[in-house]
């Protein structure tokens, strides 16, 4: 039986991942770990919640013991934008915290750890179009540095200590339940909220900025499918490229305008433009497709239709 701890369960991905895992494995078998931010009402009502800050090794170990955890989805992280404002905090959470998770898995012989990486692992020297699986990893952000180091450390733990750890390089994730916090790709979520509520949006990157993106249902399906893949089919472990769709802000605005014609978008690039410019525009995810059958379901128009249908009754 699986007993799963999801760290970062108040965050953008964690908050939805908990619910999907509870549906699949049973409410009581999925523990929502949070730090300071309380999780959503539906998480609190549907199953166990535990204060579990991954930088606090004792608290992490106690949680794992208390609930007899065998699998950790480590979704606690500081993203790229906040990471540039607070680089030492990003290192502490993304590296020291992650290392605690790995040590916990090694010492307690857990079945599996899932730890997302990101397109932030790439940098300006990386080919930006159809970015290969094996390529230059020289990020310029602290977030990216921790993601590359995390991929390498995870792979090391797999080979050296036989800890079954796996991860995907997520693109920007777009979702309707919880706002992302402190990332560079956050504009692609904020634009929907602002379009519905105010009919206008001021974007912090240029209109021609193209980044790889993914809709949340695909992001969740992907990480769970990878977790369930037989280990002997995997040649990679912690660093799977994972593509879905790529578009400019202008393309996204035009897609939203099909539903909300009055939308006006203005552009005021800030420090996050340089981060976006250092990341790929599209991703070659052949390894994920071949090794564990990755295929996304949503494109920009089906995602936009779904986002607007979900958000409009809540925000209007």
Residues of this chain that bind ligand SER (CB under 6 A): 79-80, 118-120, 143, 170, 172, 183-185
Smallest distance from the beta carbon of 79 to ligand SER, in angstroms? 4
Q: Pick the closer one to ligand SER by CB: 154 or 172.
A: 172
Q: Is 187 a catalytic residue?
A: no
Smallest distance from the beta carbon of 98 to ligand SER, in angstroms? 15
Smallest distance from the beta carbon of 145 to ligand SER, in angstroms? 13
**Would you say 191 and 179 are in contact if contact means Cβ atoms under 8 Å apart?**
no
Q: Pick the closer one to ligand SER by CB: 121 or 153.
A: 121
d(CA 292, CA 285): 11
Neighbouring C-beta atoms of residue 193, cutoff 10 Å? 16
Q: Pick the closer one to ligand SER by CB: 80 or 115.
A: 80
**Would you say 253 and 191 are in contact if contact means Cβ atoms under 8 Å apart?**
yes
Using CB atoms within 10 A of its CB, is residue 273 exposed (0-12), middle (13-18) or buried (19+)? middle
Q: Which residue is nearest to ligand SER (CB)?
A: 183
Q: Pick the closer one to ligand SER by CB: 104 or 189.
A: 189
Tokens of 240: 């799977």
Question: Among 161, 196, 182, which residue's Cα sits nearest to residue 76?
Answer: 182
Give one word for 240, left, alpha or beta, with left for phi > 0 and alpha for psi -120 to 50. Answer: beta
Q: What share of the chain is helix, strand, coil (3-state, %, to 5)?
A: 45, 15, 35
Q: At what angle do helices 187-198 and 249-257 cross, to 10 degrees?
A: 30
Neighbouring C-beta atoms of residue 230, cutoff 10 Å? 7
- Helix (H) / strand (E) containing 170: strand 168-170
Q: Which of 67, 73, 143, 170 is catalytic?
A: 143
Q: Pick the closer one to ligand SER by CB: 170 or 294.
A: 170
d(CA 175, CA 297): 14
Smallest distance from the beta carbon of 170 to ligand SER, in angstroms? 5
Smallest distance from the beta carbon of 66 to ligand SER, in angstroms? 31
Residues annotated as catalytic are 143
């Amino acid at each position: 039986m699986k007993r799963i701890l999801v760290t970062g369960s108040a965050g953008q991905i964690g908050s939805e991942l908990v619910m999907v895992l509870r549906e699949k494995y049973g409410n009581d078998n999925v523990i929502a770990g949070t730090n300071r931010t309380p999780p959503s009402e539906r998480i609190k009502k549907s199953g166990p919640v535990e204060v579990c800050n991954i930088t606090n090794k004792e608290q992490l170990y106690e949680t794992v013991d208390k609930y007899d955890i065998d699998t950790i989805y480590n979704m606690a992280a500081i993203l790229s934008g906040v990471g540039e404002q607070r680089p030492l905090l990003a290192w502490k959470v993304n590296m020291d915290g992650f290392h605690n998770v790995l040590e916990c898995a090694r010492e307690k012989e857990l079945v599996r750890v899932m730890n997302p990486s990101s397109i932030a692992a790439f940098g300006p020297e990386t080919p930006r179009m159809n970015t290969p699986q094996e390529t230059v990893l020289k990020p310029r952000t602290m977030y990216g540095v921790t993601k590359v180091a995390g991929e390498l450390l995870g792979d090391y733990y797999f080979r050296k200590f036989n800890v079954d750890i796996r991860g995907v390089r997520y693109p920007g994730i777009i979702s309707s339940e919880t706002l992302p916090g402190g990332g560079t790709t956050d504009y692609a979520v904020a634009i929907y909220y602002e379009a519905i509520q105010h009919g206008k949006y001021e974007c912090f990157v240029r209109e021609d900025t193209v980044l790889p993106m993914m809709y949340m249902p695909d992001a969740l399906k992907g990480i769970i499918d990878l977790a369930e893949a037989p280990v002997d089919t995997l040649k990679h472990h912690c660093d799977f490229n994972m593509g879905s769709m790529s578009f400019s802000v202008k393309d996204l605005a035009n897609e939203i305008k099909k539903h909300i014609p009055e939308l006006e978008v203005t552009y005021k690039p800030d420090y996050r433009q340089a981060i976006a410019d250092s990341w790929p525009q599209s991703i070659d995810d052949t390894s994920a497709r071949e090794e564990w059958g990755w295929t996304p379901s949503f494109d920009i128009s089906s995602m936009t239709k779904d986002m607007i249908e979900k958000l409009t009754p809540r925000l209007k």
